Amino acid sequence: MHEFSGEMPTALPQLYEYFFDGEKKEWIPWANLVPKYVHDPQRKFNDILVPTVDTVRTTWLLKLQVRKSFFFFTSSNIISII
């Protein structure tokens, strides 16, 4: 379900359940962004990551943080992240 940017989404109980797509100018439920899981029988168990709403949302937040971070190298070779 997609709703216009001028309207707050109301289909799900919390705004937290939505992603705002700035390019499309619409609210999209995180559940709609979860890719289909395709099992690879050759993959080791500990290498499997099944996409869920939480993994998609967390991955997006981490990518956003990396893009917004600044790395500074000091004379003592210590990296500072702001």
Better-predicted residue by pLDDT, 16 or 52: 52
pLDDT above 60 for 71: no
Q: For residue 6, is pLDDT > 90?
A: no
**Residue 13: pLDDT over 70:** yes
For 18, other C-beta atoms within 10 Å of its C-beta total 21
Q: What angle do CA 68, 64, 34 make, to 5 degrees?
A: 175
Query: Count of CB atoms within 10 A of residue 39's CB?
Result: 8
Give pLDDT tens digits for 23-70: 888 899 999 999 999 999 999 999 999 999 999 999 998 888 777 665
Give the global pTM: 0.67
Q: What is the per-residue pLDDT for 64?
A: 83
Check the CA dihedral 25-30-31-34 and report its sign: positive
